[in-house]
Structure 1
Amino acid sequence: MFEWVTNMVAAGGLAGVFALMVLENLFPPIPSELIMAAAGFSAARGEMSLPLLIVAAVAGTVAGNVVWYELGRWLGVERFRPLVARFGKWFAVEEEDLDRATDMLRRWGPVAICFGRMFPGVRTLISVPAGMVLIPRTVFYVWTSLGSAIWLTFLALAGFFLEEHYDKVEHWVEPLAWVVIGAAVGGYAVHLAYAFRRARRRRREQRQQG
């Protein structure tokens, strides 16, 4: 996978970095850690500008999050609540989780958005409730850009300065990427099992009360 991503970045240049980051934030098939490490390698080889690749990556991240933020803003909390009640168990989310997330964003919005960009899984999902609680667009996009810029610059620099150790890095980055993907799938399975168990317990309690 690492070699494939590296070849895609080299072939696509800055436009390729932008497109991969858009896809990573819409439906993350490839971790941004892998994309930016490959882009950093390409910059170290003189195939693209390091500052421009960071700009392209941040722009792609923001563009990908436009979809989720605007979707959340269009739905709103109350329109989204019936969907959570009906389908939330498939994502290990219940109405109480929705309330906690929206309360946190109302209180810590900019900080949560900024630091959320640095955590796998959170970085995309946080955009939906941010839109639902109507965090101003300017606030959302500025803090998304800032958090993304910090994290993606770190990843790009790591790839840039490790370029001379390409052969060594390739051996551990690719397995690490599969570990990240496997952990995400496994985590989803665990959350799903917990959500179904919690839903059954709730239905049982409701029957007992009724």
Structure 2
Amino acid sequence: MGGWITGTLSSMGYIGVVWLTFLENVFPPIPSELIMPLAGYLVAQGRMTMIGAVLAGTAGSILGALLLYYVGRWYGEDRLKRFADRHGRWLTLSSRDIDRASKWFAERGTWAVFVCRLIPGLRSLISIPAGIHCMGLGKFLAATALGTLLWTGLLVYLGNLLGENFERVGQYIDPVTKVVLGGMLLVYLWRVIRGTGHLD
């Protein structure tokens, strides 16, 4: 995958950055931890500008986040509740949990979206509950843009700083991603075993 990402960025420039960061948000196995540091390396070579690389990465991420937001909005809270009623145990979710989550998201949604855009493993996923709970599009875009701008800017800067060793950025961030996803998996298994998803 690394060779394909390198070839895409080298041949397509800023458009390649937009395209790959869009895909990275829709298909999380494509790593932003490689895409944006590589863009930073291209900045160091004089083939891109720092501002251009950051803006292109941010634009692609926002487009991907919007797609997932509208997927969540299309699926909707009522449909999710019906699904939870049928498969509560394996979802570790009940319709009552969804009501509580909706209330929580209404109070803290903007902050949650912003923070999650800075956490590997959660960056893409947060867009779906934002859509499901009908978070205001303006708030969603503002929180997503700000969080993404910071994350993208950091990765481009590190890639520019490390030069040919840009891949080391991914090596440092990858364990964090695995810890976050592993923690989510453990919590899920614990809730399944306890039967948290059963409806009262």
Q: TM-score range by the shorter chain?
A: 0.7 to 0.9
Which letter does structure 2 place at the counterpart of 1:161? Answer: L
2:190 maps to what in 1? 194
How many residues align structurally?
200
Contact 1:93–1:195 under 8 Å retained in 2: no
Contact 2:191–2:197 under 8 Å retained in 1: no
Shift of 1:118: 0.4
Which letter does structure 2 place at the counterpart of 1:35? Answer: I
Cα 1:156–1:82 change in 2 (3 A) is: same
Which letter does structure 1 place at the counterpart of 2:142? Answer: V
Shift of 1:31: 2.2
Which letter does structure 2 place at the counterpart of 1:42? Answer: L
1:60 maps to what in 2? 60
Shift of 1:188: 6.1
Shift of 1:96: 5.4
Gaps of 5+ in 1: none
RMSD: 2.9
Shift of 1:176: 4.7
Which letter does structure 1 place at the counterpart of 2:153? Answer: T
List per-residue Cα deviations over 1:115-171 (Å, max 9, x = no partner).
Answer: 1110123222221221222221111112211111111111111111111xx24x54x
**Mean alpha-carbon deviation: is it higher for 111-120 or for 99-108?**
99-108
In the alignment, the residues of structure 2 paired with residue 88 and residue 26 of structure 1 have an alpha-carbon distance, to the nearest angstrom, of 26
TM-score using structure 2 length: 0.82
Cα 1:89–1:121 change in 2 (3 A) is: farther
Contact 1:116–1:123 under 8 Å retained in 2: yes
Matched ranges for 1:42-121 at <5 A: 42-87=42-87, 93-95=93-95, 97-121=97-121
**Residue 13 of structure 2 aligns to a residue in which SS?**
helix
Contact 1:54–1:156 under 8 Å retained in 2: yes
**Mean alpha-carbon deviation: is it higher for 83-92 or for 115-124?**
83-92
Cα 1:187–1:161 change in 2 (3 A) is: same
Larger-gyration structure (1/2): 1
**Residue 124 of structure 2 aligns to a residue in which SS?**
helix
Shift of 1:106: 0.5
Matched ranges for 1:1-210 at <5 A: 2=2, 5-87=5-87, 93-95=93-95, 97-163=97-163, 166-167=164-165, 170=167, 172-173=168-169, 175-176=171-172, 179=175, 183=179, 186-187=182-183, 190-191=186-187, 193-199=189-195
- Percentage identity across aligned positions? 34
Which letter does structure 2 place at the counterpart of 1:197? Answer: I
List per-residue Cα deviations over 1:33-89 (Å, max 9, x = no partner).
Answer: 221111111111112122111111111111111122112222321221122344565
Contact 1:34–1:177 under 8 Å retained in 2: no
Gaps of 5+ in 2: none
**Mean alpha-carbon deviation: is it higher for 80-89 or for 90-99?**
90-99
